[in-house]
Amino acid sequence: MTSTSATELASLLCSRLCHDMLSPVGALSNGLELLASETDPEMRKRCVELLEQSARTSTNKLKFFRLAFGAAGGFGDAVPVDEIKAVIDALAADSKGVVVHWALEGANLPKPATKVLLNLAQIALDALIRGGNLDIGAELRDGSAEIVVRAQGDRIAFDEVIGHALEGNMPAVDLSSRTAAAHMIAMLAEEVGGGLQYKLGDDALVLGAVLPLPSGMIG
């Protein structure tokens, strides 16, 4: 595992968050400027629609980052699967031609498993640059949370440096805001005694994780 200080990782994750938020927040700012100077009713209506879309996108991304990177306060030790599904469904709605299929068992997932699932789903979603199917499954059994995320489409765009980060085999020089999320969940999996893996094919990317359950959720 690449040696990374908590400060460095936090800085890189903040850079990733800022990068992803810049476009929708910038669109909000531009839309407000146009609305202030526009007098044509139809154009003003169009400006309002763009503002609503940008605000919705910003909100969806912030909800994702709260659960995927943050402490997810308010949920205790586990997160309801309905919250997880809502976050990913909202992100996928902003991606053209992506259809999400869910197979989540149980009502809740432990916070570590939630972070891993959300980040794997985001990686898979980013890989579907021409649309396709995003299959997400998770179940709790034999004292572990087992997670599988599969992206299938006409073209899969995946940098295997991210795969190396997931497996803990990434050189320190390749750590960046682009690979920080994968590195973070690899560290998280190692801390709880679990592991991540990936497999890249011609038209599919499969990401997986097995994470031991907290003692309070075994039974």
Is pTM, for the whole model, over 0.85? Answer: yes
Q: How many CB atoms lie within 10 A of CB 3?
A: 7
- Mean of the pLDDT values across residues 128-142? 95
Of 128, 191, 198, 137, the residue nearest 163 (C-alpha): 198
Whole-number pLDDT of residue 170: 77
Distance separating the N- and C-terminal Cα atoms of the chain: 32
Looking at domain 6-217, what is its CATH homologous superfamily?
Histidine kinase-like ATPase, C-terminal domain (3.30.565.10)
Q: Per-residue pLDDT tens for 76-93?
A: 789 999 999 999 999 999
DSSP assignment letter at 131: -
Residue 204 to residues 12, 26, 88, 113, 125, Cα–Cα distance (Å): 28, 33, 19, 23, 12
- Mean of the pLDDT values across residues 202-215? 92
Q: How far apart are alpha carbons 179 and 182 in whole angstroms?
A: 6
Q: Which residues, including other chains, have CB under 8 Å from residue 163's CB and lie 6 or more apart?
A: 182, 198, 200
